[in-house]
Chain A
Amino acid sequence: DSGVTQTPKHLITATGQRVTLRCSPRSGDLSVYWYQQSLDQGLQFLIQYYNGEERAKGNILERFSAQQFPDLHSELNLSSLELGDSALYFCASSSGTGANTGELFFGEGSRLTVL
């Protein structure tokens, strides 16, 4: 158990809809990362938050947005969903952006199916 909790584990929705994925990082971790895992694109970095502030953006679509709340949990919002958005969405956390081990701890993911 990595200590990172993601909900829901599975989500089925229709095209055009909006969903919210939730992540609770490990206790004490300030950084949260979101990754998308699909068969054709592998693990793609979407966005990083550190202590409530956006720190880095990767291949995140404009239809997607995220935020990190004062209690450090994070939400990834996916809107105007398309079939191609079907994927596993992982949240990961780390202690911070200091120069230490660099390990990311991943949750078990939220599997999104868009029909």
Chain B
Amino acid sequence: QQQVKQSPQSLIVQKGGISIINCAYENTAFDYFPWYQQFPGKGPALLIAIRPDVSEKKEGRFTISFNKSAKQFSLHIMDSQPGDSATYFCAASKVPARQLTFGSGTQLTVLP
């Protein structure tokens, strides 16, 4: 049972554009929602995370929007750069368990 659904599977944007990746979850017990960034040949690395008591969190060019009632959250990358080209995974877990359930990943390509 896939508990976190992620879309789109791939995304191509121009440099300076906005990249948006969406995720939906099923398990209402989840209370921690991180986004991980993975470059080829590397392990996933935490990008930004949110708890359900806030609707938005911003760190630099990266913003998470969270809609608890809809059980959805999204990653917005403003002013996308070629260096942002990577695979992005949303995830969810029940703190303190921390066994992350990952989405299927989005391969982002930012064209120069």
Contacts and interface: CB of A to CB of B under 8 A. Distances in A.
Contacts of B97: 56, 97
B89 interface: yes
Nearest to B36: A106
Contacts, number: 63
B42 A98 contact: no
Contact of A42 (B95, B99, B102): B102
Interface in A35-80: 42-45, 48, 56, 58
A102 B99 contact: no
Interface string B3-38: 000000000000000000000000000001010100
Given A42-B104, A45-B101, A102 B95 contact: yes
A102 B49 contact: yes
A27 interface: no
B43 A106 contact: yes
A24 to B, nearest CB: 14
Given A42-B105, A102-B49, A58 B42 contact: no
A90 B101 contact: no
Interface residues of B, number: 23
Size class of the A contact interface (CB-based, 8 Å): 20 to 34
Contacts of A48: 98-99
A108 interface: yes
Given A4-B43, A43-B100, A108-B42, 9 more contacts: A2-B43, A42-B103, A43-B102, A45-B101, A97-B96, A97-B97, A103-B34, A105-B46, A107-B43
Interface of A: 2, 4, 31, 33, 42-45, 48, 56, 58, 90, 92, 94, 96-109
For the complex of A and B, the 6 pairs showing the least CB-CB separation, nearest first, are: A106-B43, A43-B102, A97-B96, A42-B104, A99-B96, A102-B32
